[in-house]
Structure 1
C-alpha cells in the first residue's frame, strides 16, 4: 500500500533526503561563514595579520557580499537556483585558499580573495531561500525554515569553540583552506529544485530591469515592506548599538569580559529556543506575533541603559535572541508563500541587502553617535526604535497574517 499525501506531510521534513541535502548545504555555508572571522582573529594573535589588515579583509568580504546579493537574486530567478548555489559555493571555495596564500605576505591579495569569498556567501543566500520553496511543500515550510534557523544558531554557538580546537592541531593557513573545503561541500550538497527558468525573451532584458521587477513585486506586498522596514530599523539601531556598547558595559560596569560572553551565548541560546518553538507554534495572527517578537530586541539596549544586575543583561539578550527567530521563521515562510515563484530570489535578495547587508553601516555610525550624544542617549533612542517601529508597522495592511489574503499553490 502506497504512502498517502497525509502520511507524507506528517512525516518529519528532516526524514526527506532532498531536504536533508539542502539543510546540510546551508549548514555548511553557515559554518564556513561564521568560522572565517575567528580564523582571521587567530591570524592576528599569531601575528600573521595585523589589526588593520584584519579590518581591511573583513570589510572586503562585506563589499563582496553586498555586490553579489542583488546580482544573485536576478540570476537565481533567471536560471537554476541549484546552479547559483553551486557556482557561488565554488567561488568561496577557491577564494579561501587564496586568502591563505596571502597570509603574512600580502594584505591586498587577502582582501581581493575576501571579496570573492564574500560574493560567494552573498550569492548563495537568495538561492538557498528559493530552494526551500522548490523542495518543500507549503504545509511544511515553516518547520523546514525552523530547521534552517536551528542549524544557524548551532553553528553560531559551536564555530568559535570548533575553530579554537582545530587551531591546536592545524595552522591558520590550513584552517583557511579548511573553510574552502566546507564551502566546496556547501556547493555540492544541495539537490536540484523544481525551478524552470522563464522562456528566453526575444530581446535582452537588462539586469537593472530584472532587479526592478523584483522591487515592484516586493511593493505588491504591504506586509513585506512593513516587515522589512521594521527588521532593518531593529538591526541598524538595536543590533548595532548593543554590538558596540556591550563590550564597554561588560568591562566598565562589571569589570569582567564574562558578561560579554554570557550575553552573546544567551542570545544564541534564545535563537535556538525560538527555532524550536516556532517549528510547531502557529498563532492565529502570525504576522502580528512575529512583529511583537521582533520588538523584544529592544530589551537588549534597554538592559544596557540602566545599572542592573548582570543576570538581567543576560536575560535581555536571551529574550532578544528568542524574538529574532520568532520573527525570522514566519517571515521567510510568508515570503516563500506569497511572493511570485519566478521573482522569489530577487525579493529575498532585497531582504538580505537591506536588513543584514546594511548592518555594517549602523555599526559604523554608532560610535560617532556615542561620541557626539553619549551612550545614554544613543541606547535610549535605539531601544525606543526597536519597540516603536515593529509596533507601528502592525497597522500596515496585511501584516496581521503576513499576506494570507490569498493562497498560492
Structure 2
C-alpha cells in the first residue's frame, strides 16, 4: 500500500477525485437552482438528459484520441472543456425564455462531453504509473475515492450553495474540473501504435473505434462481463431510481427507506473496496461475477419493503458485491488489453453500461404498469442473478483472462501495464 503514495499516483488520485466531486455535485446544484425558482422540473430533466447525451457522444471519440495521443492530454482537455461550460450554464440560469434554456442545455451538453472524455482516459493512465502487481490495490483505492465523493460531493456543494449562493457553487465545480485538468502528471515514453497526423476525420474515428471493438470481441470474458454489467445497470439500478421512491412512500410515508438503503449501499461499497484492496482471488472472474449477481437481492428485498431491515441488508450486500466486481473487472481490462487499445475498450465499457441506462429508466415505469410491480421486481431480480451466472460459463470467464494466470504485466508483454479500477 505504501508504494501507492508516489507523487504520480497521488496526483492522478487527486485529479480523479476532483472530477468525481464535480460530477456528483452538478445535479444537486441544478436541483438547488430549481428550488430557487430559476429552473422548472422539466428544465432540470432536460439539462440532465443533455449532459447524458454529451457524455455518450464523447466517450467513443475520447477513447480513440486517448489511445492516439495519450490519456494525459485528453484529461487536460476534458477538464478545461468541463470547466468552460460552467459560465454558459450560469448564463442560461439567469437569462429568460427560450434563449436561457438553450444556453443551459448547451452548457450541460458541454460538461457532459468533459465528463465522458475523462473517464476512459483516467482508466488508461493508471497502468502507466502503477506497476502490474500493485494495480488491484490502486484500483481499489480509486474506487474508494469514487464512493467517498458520491457522499461528499453533494454535501460539500450544498454547504457552499447555502452559505454563498448557487453561482458560488457553480464556481466550485469549475475549480474542481480545472484541478482535474491540471493535477495528473505527464507520462512519457508511451507508444500508441495509431497513425498520427493523418487528420481527424469521421471515417478515421469510426475505423479506429471499430478496431477497439474487434479487440474487445477477442476477449470472451469481457463481452460476457459487459453484458452482465449492462443488464445490472439498465434493469437493477433503474428499479432503485424509479420504483424505490414510490415503495418508500407507500411503506413508510416518507423517504426513510430511500435514505437508509442508499446509506447501506454506500457503506457496503466502501467495505467491498477495502476488501478488494487485500484480497486477490485466484479465480477472480468467477468471484467478480458472483459479486455482481448479488445486486439481484435488491429487487427481491423490495417485495418485503415494510420490513426495513431486509432491503437495508440487501443494499449493503449489493454494495459489497459491486466492488467485488468492479476492482477485478477494471484490473483485468488493464492487464489483458494492449495499452494502445485500452482507452477504446474502456470507452466501450462505459458506452454500453451507461448508455443503455436511460433506456432502462424509461421502460421500468411502463413495464411496472403492464406486468405489475411485484412481477417486475421478480423478473429484474432473476435477470440480475442468472445473467452473471450464465456469463461465468463463457470461455476465459473464470479468471477474466485468456491465460490461466490472472496476472499479466510481469511478462512485459504489454509494456508493464497492469490491472485497473
Which TM bucket (shorter chain)? Answer: over 0.9
Other-structure match for 1:12? 3
Other-structure match for 1:365? 363
What SS is found at the alignment partner of 1:168? Answer: helix
Q: CA deviation at 1:154?
A: 0.3
Q: Does 1:251 align with 2:245?
A: no
The CA distance in 2 between the partners of 1:60 and 1:143, in whole Å, is 35
Match of 2:379 among 381, 399, 402: 381
Other-structure match for 1:241? 239
The CA distance in 1 between the partners of 2:36 and 2:198, in whole Å, is 55
The CA distance in 1 between the partners of 2:106 and 2:177, in whole Å, is 18
The CA distance in 1 between the partners of 2:145 and 2:402, in whole Å, is 28
Q: CA deviation at 1:24?
A: 0.3
What SS is found at the alignment partner of 1:284? Answer: coil
What SS is found at the alignment partner of 1:169? Answer: helix
What SS is found at the alignment partner of 1:109? Answer: helix
Q: CA deviation at 1:239?
A: 0.8
C-alpha contact 2:9 2:129 (8 A) present in aligned 1:
yes
User: Per the alignment, do residues 169 and 307 of structure 1 end up closer, same or farther by CA in structure 2, a change over 3 Å counting?
Assistant: closer
Other-structure match for 2:30? 40
Q: Does 1:200 align with 2:191?
A: no
Match of 2:16 among 8, 26, 47: 26
Question: TM-score, normalised on structure 1?
Answer: 0.95
**Higher deviation after alignment, 198-207 or 138-147:** 198-207
Matches of residues 10-409 of structure 1 in structure 2 within 5 Å? 11-13=2-4, 15-105=5-95, 106-194=100-188, 195-198=190-193, 200=195, 206-403=204-401, 405=403, 407-408=408-409, 409=412
**Higher deviation after alignment, 307-316 or 201-210:** 201-210
C-alpha contact 1:297 1:386 (8 A) present in aligned 2:
yes
Q: CA deviation at 1:404?
A: 5.1
**Higher deviation after alignment, 213-222 or 169-178:** 169-178
What SS is found at the alignment partner of 1:12? Answer: helix
**Higher deviation after alignment, 173-182 or 209-218:** 173-182
Q: CA deviation at 1:169?
A: 1.2
Q: CA deviation at 1:80?
A: 2.0
The CA distance in 2 between the partners of 1:63 and 1:102, in whole Å, is 18
Residue by residue over 1:63-117, the C-alpha shift from the partner in whole angstroms, topping out at 9 and shown as x without a partner, is: 0000000000000011121000000110000001211121142111010011000
What SS is found at the alignment partner of 1:342? Answer: coil
The CA distance in 2 between the partners of 1:88 and 1:165, in whole Å, is 26
C-alpha contact 2:272 2:319 (8 A) present in aligned 1:
yes
What SS is found at the alignment partner of 1:268? Answer: helix
Q: CA deviation at 1:245?
A: 1.1
Residue by residue over 1:229-281, the C-alpha shift from the partner in whole angstroms, topping out at 9 and shown as x without a partner, is: 10001111111112111111111012221111111111111111111000110
The CA distance in 2 between the partners of 1:202 and 1:190, in whole Å, is 25
- Which runs of 5 or more residues in structure 2 are unaligned? 413-421
Alignment coverage as a number of residue pairs: 399
**Higher deviation after alignment, 262-271 or 288-297:** 262-271
Other-structure match for 1:5? none
Alignment root-mean-square deviation, CA: 1.5
Question: TM-score, normalised on structure 2?
Answer: 0.92
The CA distance in 1 between the partners of 2:308 and 2:195, in whole Å, is 60
Q: CA deviation at 1:196?
A: 2.8
